[in-house]
Structure 1
């Protein structure tokens, strides 16, 4: 069977046999199960396509699996406290985790803790990167969503306290979820809150674009890939679809179901904590505290599959299947380093204020120097030239003999230059 293009990855708080499970998006069959503990909500993330990470429920460490080895837990990253949310940058270079009110930022290639951000006043509930990894957004129980520029929070000066690029402060109760759209620094952000509203913001300016009021608390939110629709998971088990292309010019409006794109998905019996949309925008995935994950056909609003779990669902996402997820013999390009628990720790070998920026796991080479690369490329070019100009067989042998003779001539010239230089240096003045 060919490897699937997209898969469902989900976890719950009650399973004793596995931590998270991978399902086929279209058949619903179970493909992989990763063992070891249970995952905290909003902490399941893939790092560089080679590792699956999630924070252990109620503990102060991150579970790490090599994504193709589901048989056992491979690694644990110990953190200074219990993690409330976790995410990795799409380029695989950075890892962020929230511990209480603070946000920790690590450089993945070295394991160095680059920054600790303490701008929230209460626990951070959600973290998301933009698709170009240039910014990340944090939401908390202090009713605030903060937009951070990655370049500004990497501390080159320990006396400088990083500040968020924007403070989004229009919510009146804790933020429960947020979602970053596409287009990098030009993206739109959606934030959901216990104040029964979902607000859409412009990341570049921090301006509020739209506020929708519901009859219930909103626990989760996401866009479809084209950002035609906004999907909002309610505390009553309903999922609300809001059209972002309606003709209404009002910035503040209340949700009403109509034939113009505003619809309700009914099926869950408890609050909806996770929402995700497939790449083509036709399927919606939802996870709920009613211990089920449901797959919906967006056009018909019908539930086409229900995946039973052993406890309240903590994470459920549709993701592109990493290339080596179904290749048992594959391995990540590089092992993960030891992650520091202290800001610019002395044992890392660097001085205070020093940041070592390296290439990500997916771009690093296996200890091949620049000269080795150049030599390999030169050999490849010569081989192609020999075939195209001189052909194969006897002509190639003649060409090899000519090149060997040229090498000997160059060696003789080099020796003559060395002897001449030696005589000049040793000649008495």
Structure 2
């Protein structure tokens, strides 16, 4: 049997035998189970396709597994308090956690705690990165959603207090969930709240684009990959589908089921805690406090599979299956370090500073560590290497543009 392209990863608060389970997206069969405690809500994270992380329910601990070693915890990370939410940047370089009213940000490859952001006034409830890893958004019980530019919050000067790029403050009750769409810094962000509204924002400007009022509190929210629809999980067990392409769409509206794409998925008997959509946008996954995970056909609104759990579902996500998930003999390319619990001030302004690696680029802040210097050299050697990398980036940009132009010609060519 070939390895699946996408898998379902779920966790609940009642299982005694495993922490989280991996299911086949199309058959519903159980593929893997990871042992060790239970995961709290909004903390299940796939890191760089090589590690699985989740916060321990009721404890100030983050559990970490190598993705293929399901029966053994690689390590436990002790945090300063209970972790209320956890997320990783899509490029795998940064890990962010909500602990009480603060957001902790670590660099994955060094384990260094880069910043502690204490801008919320009450507990942080949800955290999400943009798809290009340049920004992340935090939502809290203080009714606020804060947009953070990653480059501005990495602290080399501990006397400097980072400030959010935008403060999204139109909710009147605690924020329960948020979702960042595609397009990086130009993305749209959806926030759900106990005030019975879901709001859609423009990340670049912080402007409110759409506000939808429901009859119930909204506990979870997500877009489909093309952002044609907004899916909202209610406290009554219903899932509401809002069309974002309606001709009659105004900035403020009340949800009503109609023939223009606004529909209701009915099947859960308790609040819907998590939502996720498959890569092709045809399947919707939902987890609920009724101890079930359901898979829905988006077109027909029918539940095509129900996965029973042992307690209220805390996490349910659809993810691309990592290549080494089903290869027991594989090992991560880079092992996880020991994560620091404290911010470290620079020592004398010399070596030991943070080197932040952003995608294909290598941005060196301050003076680089001895490890970095041993790879790239000093002085003229470093300049030559940087010039070579810049030339390679320009070449890749040209190749990408040529591919885009060729694809556009094929798609627009008359049949």
Tell me which interval the TM-score lies in, with the shorter structure as reference length. Answer: 0.7 to 0.9
CA-to-partner distance for each residue in 1:23-54, whole Å, 9 max, x for gaps?
A: 00000000000000000100000111100000
User: Take 1:181 and 1:421, find their aligned partners in 2: how far apart are those partners?
Assistant: 23
Q: Give the drift of 1:397.
A: 39
Moved over 3 A (4+): 349-354, 358-364, 387-429
Change in CA separation of 1:290 and 1:157 when aligned onto 2, cut-off 3 Å? same
Deviations 1:132-160 (A, max 9, x none): 00000000000000000000000122111
Cα pair distance change 1:58/1:427, threshold 3 Å: closer
CA deviations 1:311-351 (Å, max 9, x no partner) are: 0000000010011101111000011111110011689x987
Shift of 1:355: 2.1
Q: Could you give the per-residue CA deviations for residues 90-120 of structure 1, whole angstroms, max 9, x where no partner exists?
A: 0010000010000000001110000000000
Deviation at 1:356, TM superposition (A): 2.8
Deviations 1:228-254 (A, max 9, x none): 000000000000000000012420000
> Secondary structure at 1:324's aligned position in 2?
coil
Structure 1 residues 60-113: Cα deviation after superposition (integer angstroms, max 9, x where no partner)? 110000001111222111111110000010001000001000000000111000
Question: How far 1:161 sits from its partner (Å)?
Answer: 0.4
The CA deviation at 1:357 is 2.6
Aligned length: 406
Q: CA deviation at 1:354?
A: 3.4
Tell me the alpha carbon deviations over residues 224-278 of structure 1, each in whole angstroms, 9 at most, x when there is no partner. Answer: 0000000000000000000000012420000000011000000000000000000
- Conserved in 2, the CA contact under 8 Å of 1:158 and 1:353? no
Cα gap change, 1:141 to 1:264, in 2 (>3 Å): same
- Paired residues of 1:93 and 1:361 also in contact (CA < 8 A): no
Q: 1:424 to 1:137 in 2, by over 3 A?
A: closer
SS at match of 2:407: helix
Structure 1 spans left out of the alignment, 5+ residues: 365-386
Superposed CA offset, 1:371-390 (max 9, x none) = xxxxxxxxxxxxxxxx9999
Deviations 1:155-210 (A, max 9, x none): 12211100000000000000000000000000000000000000000000000000
Q: Is the 8 A contact 1:105 1:116 kept in 2?
A: yes
Is the alpha carbon distance of 1:345 and 1:79 closer, same or farther for their aligned partners in structure 2, counting shifts above 3 Å? Answer: farther
Q: Secondary structure of 2:406's match?
A: helix
2:200 aligned with 1:200: yes
TM-score by length of 2: 0.85
- Normalising by structure 1, what TM-score? 0.82
User: Which structure: larger Rg?
Assistant: 1
| Aligned equivalent of 1:77 | 77
Q: 1:147 to 1:412 in 2, by over 3 A?
A: closer
**Structure-to-structure mapping, 1:6-405, within 5 angstroms:** 6-344=6-344, 354-358=353-357
Change (3 A) 1:312 1:339: same
Specify whether residues 59 and 361 from structure 1 end up closer, same or farther in structure 2 by C-alpha distance, changes over 3 A only. farther
Contact 1:143 / 1:175 at 8 angstroms: preserved in 2? yes
